[in-house]
Amino acid sequence: MPAPEHALNGRWEHYPHGADIGVRGFGATKAEAFEQAALALTAAVADPAAVEPREAVAIECEAPDDELLFAEWLNRLVYEMATRRMLFSRFAVRLEGTRLAGEARGEPVDSARHHPAVEVKGATYTTLRVAREDGGWVAQTVVDV
């Protein structure tokens, strides 16, 4: 699926994994790569462009290293999507060491408008990677759908 530009420097993409979907975010900073990967997570379910960023949900999490923190960030989003029955299309991430403070903006799922394809069960550690690449950052993992 073509990756739309949602931020000046950032972009996201999907990559194939047997039965599931890889989500990958690129950014000028690590935080931006996390934000872009979150868009790829939404895009595994529905078109992010169709999701209005009307309501904000605060997300805080912690993990011992960048990679586990990235998986935790996606998993918190999966949790909020599932329990609030929402989709998110705008993300803000602030990283301080092993802690993440973020915000996800979106709206309740509207099946007629969003045509959601799959539920995401969780972010796995398969191909999990957070690293510097080409002067920027990449954050990726496979999500189980």
Partner 1 sequence: MDLSQLKRRSDFEWEIPQRGAMRVPAVIYASEALMREMDQKVYEQAVNVATLPGIVKASYAMPDAHWGYGFPIGGVAAFDPAEGGVVSAGGVGFDISCGVRCLHTGLARADVMAVQKELAEMLYYRIPAGVGSTGAIHLNETEMDAMLAGGAKWAVERGWGEAADLERTEERGQMPHAKPGNVSALAKKRQRDEMGTLGSGNHYLEVQEVTEVYDEAIARAFGLARGDIVVMIHCGSRGLGHQIGTEYLKRMAIAAPQHGIRLPDRELACAPIESDVGQDYLGAMRAAINCALANRQILTHLVRKVFADVLPQARLALLYDVSHNTCKVEEHRADGGTRRLYVHRKGATRAFGPGHPDIPEALRAAGQPVLIGGSMGTGSYVLAGTGESEARSFSSACHGAGRAMSRHQALRTWKGRQVIDALASRGIVVKSPSMRGVAEEAPEAYKDVSAVVDAADLAGLAKKVARVEPLVCIKG
Q: If DSSP codes are grouped into helix, strand and coil, which group holds residue 10? A: coil
- Nearest alpha carbon to residue 129 among 120, 117, 138: 138
Q: Per-residue x/- mask for partner 1, residues 23 to 42, rule CB under 8 A? A: --------------------
- By beta-carbon proximity to partner 1, the closer residue of 6 and 84 is 84
Q: How far is the CB of 89 from partner 1 (least distance, A)?
A: 15
| Given 7, 50, 57, 63, the residue binding partner 1 (CB under 8 A) | 63
Tokens at residue 6, please?
């949602």
Tokens at residue 135, please?
């002067």
Tokens at residue 28, please?
């000028």
Q: How far is the CB of 81 from partner 1 (least distance, A)?
A: 9
CB proximity list for 10: less than 8 A, separation 6 or greater:
25, 26, 27, 28, 32, 33, 35, 36
DSSP symbol at 128: -
Residues 71, 129 contacting (CB under 8 angstroms):
no
50 binding partner 1? (CB under 8 A): no
| Given 41, 123, 130, 138, the residue binding partner 1 (CB under 8 A) | 123
121 binding partner 1? (CB under 8 A): yes
User: Where along the sequence are the contacts to partner 1 (CB under 8 A)?
Assistant: 1, 14-21, 45, 63-64, 67-68, 71-72, 75, 78-79, 82-83, 85, 108-109, 111, 115-119, 121-126, 128, 142, 144-145
